[in-house]
Amino acid sequence: RIAYVNGQYVPHADAAVHIEDRGYQFADGVYEVCEVRDGALIDAPRHLARLWRSLDELRIRAPMGEAALRVVLNETVRRNRVRNGIVYLQVTRGVARRDHTFPSDATPPALVVTARAHDRARMDAGAEAGVKVITVPENRWPRVDIKTVGLLPNVLVKQQAKEAGAKEAWYVDAEGYVTEGGSTNAWIVTREGVIVTRPAENGILRGVTRTTLFDLAEKLQMRIEERRFTVAEAKAAAEAFNTAATALVTPVTAIDGEPVGDGRPGPVALGLRRRFHEFAA
Ligand code: PDD
């Protein structure tokens, strides 16, 4: 395997960043995960647009232009011979003697890109069987709209889910509304067939998969509503599902041990999963 590290393609086993990298010391960085399908990046323009937004919000300089970054992403995919898998990119504020305030403007941001193949048939089979989720109190900082590498709360709840025999943890805000999963956006389908997900204006990351799913649902003339929903509403819903570049559309079959609908992956979620790539760019 090959990784891209600050201008060079190096063997993955030897790829390293300096111990004074601000990503390492302060989680002072942002990232993106993009699906690779049949050798092509899926929804790359939206992932890059969000990356630039994350960088701007944190006042981290872009390591290169968007076109050049796309070349690096594609080249990393190519050098790893990834047909189906993911490409990961991370930008940190760079390497500087430890100090909380920003380093000098001369400090270049650090860019790392990796690519990893997965067995698509196996992944599809796993996802289509559905996953269980647990619910946990929201405990993250309010700027979850920025895709930062500061993921400690997410790490802890994903581990908690795993230890509970579940795949994902849904965060629940102080008012009892679901925000999102530890690494996915959360959705339900009501008994009337309306697809519901939380508005992206607060409390969640605006998922690229989420945005593309809106396009898909609209083109298919499905009823879709952006509004908050509670855990109780989710448990009583016909279906629930998660979205992310890594999960695509993954049906949720149980919440806190209680079955959703008939406890099997729902037709709306499975249908959206199977048609997703017709509308991805
Ligand atoms: N996670 N919400 C959170 C907290 C996420 O971390 C992610 C993605 C999403 C979905 O975003 P998108 O559809 O753009 O992938 C929502 C990535 C995949 C990860 O951390 O691995």
Q: What is the CATH number of the domain that holds 200?
A: 3.20.10.10
| Cα within 13 Å of Cα(3), Cβ side | 16
83 and 220 fall within a common domain: no
220 and 88 fall within a common domain: no
109 and 162 fall within a common domain: no
| pLDDT above 90 for 205 | yes
**Residue whose C-alpha is closest to residue 168's, from 153, 152, 180, 176:** 180
264 and 145 fall within a common domain: yes
Side by side, which strands form the sheet with 110-117?
8-11, 2-5, 110-117, 85-92, 29-37, 40-41
Q: How far is the CA of 194 from the centre of ligand 1 (A)?
A: 23
91 and 167 fall within a common domain: no
Measured from the CB, is residue 111 less than 6 Å from ligand 1? no
Measured from the CB, is residue 245 less than 6 Å from ligand 1? yes
Q: What is the pLDDT of residues 207-236, one digit of tens each?
A: 999 999 999 999 999 999 999 999 999 999
| pLDDT above 80 for 281 | no
11 and 27 fall within a common domain: yes
135 and 70 fall within a common domain: no
pLDDT for res 279: 80
149 and 243 fall within a common domain: yes
Tokens of 49: 């647009």
**Residue whose C-alpha is closest to residue 26's, from 149, 124, 108:** 149
Q: What is the pLDDT of residues 61-72, one digit of tens each?
A: 999 999 999 999
Q: How many domains does the chain have?
A: 2
156 and 251 fall within a common domain: yes
Whether the model clears a pTM of 0.90, i.e. scores above it, the answer is yes
Q: What is the pLDDT of residues 16-59, one digit of tens each?
A: 999 999 999 999 999 999 999 999 999 999 999 999 999 999 99
130 and 229 fall within a common domain: yes
Final residue of a structural domain among 71, 103, 118: 118
Residues 115-137: what's their mean pLDDT? Answer: 96
Pairing between β-strand 8-11 and β-strand 2-5 as defined by DSSP bridges: antiparallel
Non-local (6+) Cβ contacts of 94 within 8 A are: 21, 22, 103, 107, 108, 109, 110
CA distances in angstroms from 134 to 69, 170, 179, 254, listed in the order given: 37, 6, 13, 8
Final residue of a structural domain among 118, 151, 173: 118
Q: How far is the CA of 163 from the centre of ligand 1 (A)?
A: 21
User: In terms of residue numbers, what domain contains 42?
Assistant: 2-118
| pLDDT above 90 for 251 | yes
